[in-house]
Structure formats: structure tokens, C-alpha cells
Amino acid sequence: MHDEDAAKMPQHDVLIVGGGLVGASLAIALAPLGLDVGMVEAAPAGALPPVFDQRNLSFAEATVHALTALGVLPLMQQPTGAIRTIHISRAGDFGRVRLNAAAHGRSEFGRVVVARDFGEALEARLSQLQRLTRYRPATFVGLDESDGAWRRVHIAEASGQRSVGARLVVAADGARSAVRAALNIAEMTHDYAQTLFVARLRAQRAPEGNAYERLTDHGPTALLPRGDGYYGLVHGVARDEAERIGALSDVNFLARVQDIFGWRAGRFLEVGPRSSYPLIGCVAEALSAPRAVLVGNAAQSIHPLGAQGFNLGLRDALTLAECIAQRPEDPGEAALLTRYCARRAEDRQRTLAFSDGLVKLTSNPAPLLRPLRSAGLLACDSLGWLQGWLAGGAMGYRGDVPALSRGAR
């Protein structure tokens, strides 16, 4: 970037495009390094991004460790729910998997957090950062080729377009990432032909730390133990049935979910407002380009079965922050980005394979697969080493785990 150009525009060590769960978490993780950080956010000041709605987020133990160390979870104003047991079964198959945190030397596997409550805590923590410039409301328009030391990013604000310089541009702008497209990074997409309904649900029996996942041909139905005495309901349906199911009355919707889920939590008494989301997976074919990197859903958007999405994205952000901490004078150098990609490879590949394989196996209605699935469920329920592998994944410990996720300070 020429000196004359540099004098005309803001310049940042790191510019994060996207102020959602992963982008905001990355800005907070970078704060101790003393870098000049910018963040491009579509939501105006005083408003939360749409992702911070009433959906329920399942935070693995590794995520809880990290967000506590980053000072976010202590700012939560609403109670979170502990996950102490996990019960997995599939309609039509024999057997089930039961995981108990106490059997693995833990008090809990993780926590259930309402997205809006988490968004408010993130916002409170962001407001404490001294070297963060927030461009909001603003949208990403495009970027120039790297000149070797900088990237010029173009954004649109209410007053018009402007350019911002950055040593490193971070794409944290979601599954339909405009930054990823501008970098000409290809992606593989997969439409699961499912729609996910989420809502708050009250049952006859209180959650008491119990999480349930009921699998069917058309997607999962899960109950997650919230901290307010309700369950967080996740209900997957076939896409061609979504409009009809979305139009059901609360009474008929509850009856449908009860019929699929069963009576492990007693009678379902009440359901709150429902939101729905089409399930489309997207995996970027590369994680970096010159002076640019992808994190979170911009890097990979996966099926929610197994509750791995945000946990994986946060580990992206934390690993990137660790790599930058080793070379803070130039956060966008090629060797640093190569190191980041290498560190993320195992966790990313294993989590993607686990999530995609689980979806394909559990949603396949082929009769010949039923005895194999039943045998698998029985094995997972009885073999200690297999239980340990499942529990480790559920708690967020795969591959090269960032220090904060391990509980280190």
C-alpha cells in the first residue's frame, strides 16, 4: 500500500468482517495482544445481529473454559444450564447411548446458553475493549489484491463507501461469506433437505442436567437443559414438510414432537415461539489466501447434529489468536497463516467427518442399516474406550486444542 494511500484511510493490524458469535469472540481473544483491531458489522449500534435470537447453543466444556477466561461468561445475566448426562436413541432402532459426566471425572459436559443472552454478554465484553474500532452498520463490498504487506477492504456505510487497510483480513461473515467469494475460495455445499425448528419447551419433568437426542429418518429432535427450567427444543423435519409443520398450532406441534420424542421428560406442556432454519452444509476448500483467513461458518457450516458448529468455530478463532500472539508484529504473514491452517487441520477434518457421517448414518432409512446402528448404539453404551472417545468429542477436545479451551490462562 503506497504511503499516499495509507494516509487517506484507517489501517488495522486485523480487520474482522462479521460481528457474530465467532467474529466477536475473536476480537475479544485478540485484545490482550494490544493490536489495532477493526470489526465490520451489519447490525447498528444498540442492536444485536439476527444470529443472537432464541435458539439454544450447546457449549462444550472446552468452550466454557475459553469463554470464561475471555471474561464473557461471567457477564451473562441469565442462568445457563449444565449438561450432566446425554441420552441418544433412534426411532425404530434397538439400543441407546447414555453418557454421564461423573463417569468421566467431570461435573458436566458443557452448558446450554440462549443465543440472545450470549450476544448481550459478548456486547458487554466488546464495549470494554480499548483498541477495537467498530464499523456499524456497514457491509463488506470487496477487497483488492494484497500488495505484500496490506489488504485494502471496501465497505459500505450509511454515508457511502470507504476503504480500510489491514495486515490481516478475517472472514467471519457466515456460511454465505462475501469475503470468501471475493477471495475466490471455492466451497462445497450440501443441502440436507431438512429444516430445523427451535423453541423453548416446558415439560412435566424439569431438565436437571439431562440432554436428549432422538434421531429419525428426517432429522434429530433434541431437548437441551436450559438454565431457566425449560428445555431448548431442536426439531428437524423433511424440507418438503416444513411449511405444513410450521403452520401447526402449538397444541398440535407439541403433540407431534411428543410422538417422535417419547415420554422420557414426561408430558410436554408448553412451547414458545418457533423459529426455523434450512440445513445446508458448506465447507471452504481452503482456509487462507494472501493476508486473509476464514473462521467459523465462513470456513465450515455443518449440520447441528452433535452440536459441534459454534464450538468448532470458536476453536478456529482461539487458534488464530494463538498464532498471532507468536508473531503480533505482522499478523498476516504467510508463514503464520500456514501455521494456522496446519493447526486447524486435524480438528476440522475429524469434526466434519464425525458430523457428516453421523447425519448420513442416522438419517438413512435402509432396513439393512438398522441392525448395524443398533449394534453401534449398544457398543457406544457399553465399551469404556468408545464412551471416552465420544465424551472427549462432546467436550470439545479434538486435535490441537487451544490453550484457553484446556482451561489454561
| Cβ-based neighbours of 226, under 8 Å, separated by 6 or more | 56, 80, 81, 112, 114, 200, 207, 232
pLDDT for res 381 = 44
First to last CA, the chain: 37
What's the pLDDT score for residue 390? 53
Q: Measured between alpha carbons, how far is residue 34 from residues 31, 49, 131, 225 in Å?
A: 6, 26, 7, 38
Residue 99 is predicted with a pLDDT of: 80
- What is the residue-wise DSSP string for 152-173? EEEEEETTEEEEEEEEEEEE-S
* Per-residue pLDDT of the chain in tens (409 residues, 90 and over written 9): 544 455 578 999 999 999 999 999 999 999 999 999 999 999 999 898 888 888 889 898 999 999 999 999 999 999 999 999 988 877 655 445 778 888 878 889 899 999 999 999 999 999 999 999 999 999 999 999 988 899 999 999 999 999 999 999 999 999 999 999 999 999 999 888 889 899 999 999 999 999 998 887 777 888 999 999 999 999 999 999 999 999 999 999 999 999 999 898 999 999 999 999 888 889 999 999 999 999 999 999 887 665 577 899 999 999 999 999 999 999 999 999 999 999 999 988 888 876 665 555 455 444 443 434 334 443 344 434 343 445 555 667 777 889 898 876 5
- The rounded distance, in Å, linking the Cα atoms of 139 and 160 is 11
Architecture of domain 3-80+110-189+280-363: 3-Layer(bba) Sandwich (3.50)
Distance, CA of 349 to CA of 236 (rounded, Å): 24
pTM, two decimals, is: 0.89
Three-state DSSP state, 210: strand
At residue 5, the pLDDT reads: 53
Paired with 306 in beta bridges are: none
**Residue 351 and residue 303 in contact, taking contact as beta carbons nearer than 8 Å:** no
